[in-house]
């Protein structure tokens, strides 16, 4: 600084320099503060949520039951003639066809009876012919008044007795032939044979106390018998003519096999007042040979006709304690909490009984992240109705 400057000038210079330093410091502070402030944040975008529009769908209502399989045809094979078992012509558990030979009982005594019956028939016919000839002669003589009425009547009676003896002999021959046929025991229908209860060499007796030789069960079709409660019966059946239209699905107890498709065969003619149920019988084809009499089965009984219903996907349902709810999407694409009452299961959906109306939209995913009155960006699901209606 120049020593010749006056003190007044020196103070003015110092003040100006200090003012410049303060201004620079203030400018630096303002710039530092502005640099540290973040940029203003933008509002978050609405999440994308899949949405279905509910429309009535024609569905068939189903009810679940449990039952047992029984054969359509079954028989205990018993001997109809006495004798010694000569042959057993099947293996235990073998499948046999109608008419296949199962047992042979010694046929020789029955063959002898047949031959004796044939001889008796020949004798009776010969006597009948003689009686016919005598009657013809007696008729001529009686016409000529050469014999009395009593002689003619005796000839007529002898002829009638001879004819009766022929009928008796023919009946005896038929019975002998039947016994010979019964000595060869065949399968009355196709099916699976059980074990042989008696083997060759055993003597069997016919009659009420005849032993069971084996059992035969038809295995091409089976009945499934189950009890239907009164309410399900009334809901499913609208007339006897509709019973044939009621589908039934059968799944075996392990639940891992295929579903067999059948139909209602018949309902019992009265309800059991003790249990409030009625016995139903459905019939199924044993297409793969897996079904066996006595098996436990799970059954689904379908209604005779379809009804219109609102269906909501199960993944659209939330649980609030003991209540079920959905998120309904309003016209402003805002979700609203709505409690619903549900009916039966239908594929991966539930029937809505109360709480929703046709045309409303329901969120089907991201339920855990949604809150009432929160906005969303809806993504329509257009194949919902088609997928369900195709069942």
* pTM attached to this predicted model: 0.66
- pLDDT at residue 33, rounded to an integer: 45
Q: Is the pLDDT assigned to residue 386 strictly greater than 50? A: no
The helix or strand, by DSSP H or E, that contains position 71, with its residue range, turns out to be strand 62-71
What's the CA gap between 41 and 23, in Å, rounded?
A: 32
The pLDDT-based confidence of 360 (bands split at 50, 70, 90) is very high
Q: In the chain, what is the straight-line distance between the N-terminal and C-terminal CA atoms, in Å?
A: 103
Residue 114 and residue 181 in contact, taking contact as beta carbons nearer than 8 Å? no
- pLDDT at residue 348, rounded to an integer: 84
What's the CA gap between 3 and 293, in Å, rounded?
A: 130
Ramachandran sector of residue 370 (left: φ over 0; alpha: ψ -120 to 50; beta: rest): beta
Of the candidates 292, 362, 290, which has an alpha carbon nearest to the alpha carbon of residue 326? 362
- pLDDT at residue 114, rounded to an integer: 96
- pLDDT at residue 45, rounded to an integer: 77
What's the CA gap between 169 and 108, in Å, rounded?
A: 20
Q: Is the pLDDT assigned to residue 205 strictly greater than 90? A: yes
- Average pLDDT of the chain is 85
What confidence tens digit (pLDDT) does each residue in 311-348 have? 999 888 999 888 999 999 999 999 999 999 998 887 78
Q: Is the pLDDT assigned to residue 238 strictly greater than 90? A: no
Look at the alpha carbons of 15, 17, 19, 25 in this order and tell me if their dihedral is positive or negative. Answer: negative
Beta bridge partner(s), residue 296: 68
Ordered structural domains, the chain, with CATH: 50-57+307-389 (2.40.420.20), 63-71+221-302 (2.40.30.170), 76-106+183-217 (2.40.50.100), 108-182 (1.10.287.470)
The pLDDT-based confidence of 60 (bands split at 50, 70, 90) is confident
- % of residues, the chain, pLDDT over 70: 83
- pLDDT at residue 120, rounded to an integer: 96
The pLDDT-based confidence of 11 (bands split at 50, 70, 90) is low
What mean pLDDT is predicted for residues 202-230? 94
Spatial CB neighbours of 375, under 8 Å, sequence gap ≥ 6: 46, 332, 333, 334
Q: What is the 3-state secondary structure (H, E, C) of 129-180?
A: HHHHHHHHHHHHHHHCCCCCHHHHHHHHHHHHHHHHHHHHHHHHHHHHHHHH
- pLDDT at residue 225, rounded to an integer: 95
- pLDDT at residue 78, rounded to an integer: 97
Ranking 12-21, 235-244, 250-259, 282-291 by mean pLDDT, the lowest is: 12-21
Residue 376 and residue 48 in contact, taking contact as beta carbons nearer than 8 Å? yes
- pLDDT at residue 388, rounded to an integer: 46
The pLDDT-based confidence of 282 (bands split at 50, 70, 90) is very high
Of the candidates 46, 17, 14, 41, which has an alpha carbon nearest to the alpha carbon of residue 379? 46
Q: Is the pLDDT assigned to residue 63 strictly greater than 90? A: no
What mean pLDDT is predicted for residues 29-51? 62
What's the CA gap between 205 and 80, in Å, rounded?
A: 8
What mean pLDDT is predicted for residues 235-251? 71
Q: What are phi and psi of 92, to 5 degrees?
A: -55, 130
- % of residues, the chain, pLDDT over 90: 55
What confidence tens digit (pLDDT) does each residue in 93-130 have? 999 999 999 999 999 999 999 999 999 999 999 999 99
- pLDDT at residue 154, rounded to an integer: 93
- pLDDT at residue 183, rounded to an integer: 97
Look at the alpha carbons of 336, 342, 346, 347 in this order and tell me if their dihedral is positive or negative. Answer: positive
What confidence tens digit (pLDDT) does each residue in 289-301 have? 889 999 999 998 8
């Amino acid at each position: 600084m120049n020593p010749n400057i006056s003190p007044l000038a020196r103070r003015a210079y110092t003040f100006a320099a200090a003012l410049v330093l303060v201004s620079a410091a203030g400018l630096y502070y303002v710039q530092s503060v502005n640099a540290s402030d973040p940029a203003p944040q933008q509002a978050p975008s609405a999440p994308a949520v899949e949405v279905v529009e509910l429309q009535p769908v024609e569905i068939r209502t189903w009810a679940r039951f449990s039952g047992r399989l029984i054969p359509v045809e079954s028989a205990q094979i018993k001997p109809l003639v006495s004798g010694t078992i000569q042959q057993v012509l099947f293996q235990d558990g073998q499948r046999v066809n109608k008419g296949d030979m199962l047992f042979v009982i010694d046929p020789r005594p029955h063959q002898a009876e047949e031959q004796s019956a044939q001889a008796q028939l020949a004798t009776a016919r010969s006597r009948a012919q003689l009686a016919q000839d005598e009657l013809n002669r007696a008729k001529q003589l009686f016409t000529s008044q050469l014999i009395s009425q009593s002689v003619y009547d005796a000839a007529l009676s002898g002829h009638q007795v001879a004819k009766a003896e022929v009928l008796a002999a023919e009946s005896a021959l038929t019975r002998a032939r039947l016994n010979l046929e019964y000595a060869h025991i065949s399968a009355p229908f196709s099916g699976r044979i059980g074990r042989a209860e008696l083997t060759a060499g055993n003597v069997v007796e016919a009659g009420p106390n005849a032993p069971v030789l084996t059992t035969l069960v038809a295995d091409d079709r089976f009945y499934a018998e189950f009890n239907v409660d009164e309410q399900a019966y009334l809901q499913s059946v609208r007339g006897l003519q509709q019973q044939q239209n009621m589908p039934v699905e059968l799944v075996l107890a392990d639940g891992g096999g295929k579903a067999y498709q059948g139909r209602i065969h018949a309902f019992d003619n009265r309800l059991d007042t003790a249990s409030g149920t009625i016995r139903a019988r459905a019939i199924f084809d044993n297409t793969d040979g897996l079904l066996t009499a006595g098996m436990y089965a799970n059954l689904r009984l379908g209604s005779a006709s379809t009804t219109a219903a609102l269906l909501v996907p199960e993944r659209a349902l939330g649980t609030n304690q003991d209540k079920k709810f959905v998120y309904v999407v309003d016209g402003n694409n805002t979700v609203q909490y709505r409690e619903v009452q549900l009916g039966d299961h239908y594929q991966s959906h539930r029937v809505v009984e109360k709480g929703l109306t046709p045309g409303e939209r329901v969120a089907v995913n991201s339920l855990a992240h949604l809150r009432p009155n929160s906005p969303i960006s809806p993504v329509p699901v257009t194949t919902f109705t088609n997928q369900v209606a195709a069942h």
